[in-house]
Amino acid sequence: MNPLLTAVLLFAGLVVALLVGIRLRRLVPEHHLTADSKDAVKLAMGLVATMTALLLGLLVSSAKGTYDTARGEVMQMAAKVAFLDRVLALYGPDAMPTRVELRDAVVQSVRQIWPNEADTPAQLNPDAQAGAAMYLAIQHLSPGDDTQRGLKAQATSVALDLAQLRALLVAQAAPSVSRPMLVVVACWLVLTFVGFGLLTPSNATTAFALLASAFSVAAALFLILELDQPFGGTIRISDAPMVNVVQHLAH
């Protein structure tokens, strides 16, 4: 789902809810707006607001968990790429073509996951051809002693770990924010803002406060949905760890 569009629609819905509440205030008979009636409505609104806050907390936790997990995997990928290059460097000059293959594969992956064009979506699916070429390059190394055999085995293990991490990024690309939960939260917010319009007096101060509240809630939802898309949007994961590693790989 589009975070900006969803946030705008929610803000518009809350503004309409306020207007509906103000309209109901004019239509409801005065004896329905006694102090006791207002207290009862406030209690009901407080209950709905509390449940809404709980669900918003769950949405924030889910989206933040997705973001942190993906960021951790990117950091692991950067560390393993640097370690793999170091292992190949220790192997000796025979591994230089393999190190070049590694650099080319990493550069291509960075371009796919973090495209330079803002309107180009991230491509998390790994380049199978580049990955296979990298793995075969390691397998084609011919160790001359036990040290090189150990380094080759270590390089193979790290290369497989990198492939697993890339597969994890693809598997976790599905949205973690539950749409039914999001719809329920939006409905409860609409009910709450109808109550605000029903109970608050009609003047510029309260109108500004309620509009600011609606905007804040919509902005919070926008941030939640942005966190749920760690490789897109305005709060995407930085490519700095991978770029820094690329600068130190063999040319």
Reported as a single tens digit per residue, the pLDDT across 47-89 is: 888 898 898 888 999 889 889 998 999 999 999 999 999 999 9
C-alpha radius of gyration, the chain, whole number:
27
Helices (H) and strands (E) in the chain, counts: 8, 0
Q: Given this model, what pLDDT does residue 78 score?
A: 92
Q: Given this model, what pLDDT does residue 251 score?
A: 61
Distance (Å, whole) CA 200 – CA 22: 8
- pLDDT category of residue 117 using cuts at 50, 70 and 90: low
- pLDDT of 131 > 80? The answer is no
Q: Given this model, what pLDDT does residue 87 score?
A: 92
154 within 8 A of 87, measured Cβ to Cβ: yes
Distance (Å, whole) CA 56 – CA 44: 18
106 within 8 A of 83, measured Cβ to Cβ: no
What residues does each domain of the chain span? 3-247
- pLDDT of 38 > 90? The answer is no
Altogether, the residues listed in the chain come to a count of: 251
**Percent of the chain whose pLDDT exceeds 90:** 25
- pLDDT of 106 > 70? The answer is yes
Which residues are CB-neighbours of 136 under 8 A, at least 6 positions away? none
**For residues 18 and 30, which has the higher predicted lDDT (pLDDT)?**
18
Average pLDDT over residues 114-136: 77
User: Each residue of 140-187: pLDDT tens digit?
Assistant: 888 888 889 999 999 999 999 988 888 888 888 777 888 888 899 999
- pLDDT of 118 > 80? The answer is no
Q: Given this model, what pLDDT does residue 196 score?
A: 86
| DSSP-based three-state secondary structure for 241 | helix
Closest CA to 233 of 122, 87, 106: 122
Which tokens is 24 given? 């109901």
- pLDDT of 31 > 70? The answer is no
165 within 8 A of 22, measured Cβ to Cβ: no
Distance (Å, whole) CA 203 – CA 2: 34
- pLDDT of 119 > 70? The answer is no
Closest CA to 15 of 185, 194, 184: 194
Mean of per-residue pLDDT scores for the chain: 86
Q: Given this model, what pLDDT does residue 250 score?
A: 63
User: Each residue of 183-218: pLDDT tens digit?
Assistant: 999 999 998 998 888 888 878 888 899 899 999 999
Q: Which of 27-31, 60-64, 98-102, 157-161 has the lowest mean pLDDT?
A: 27-31
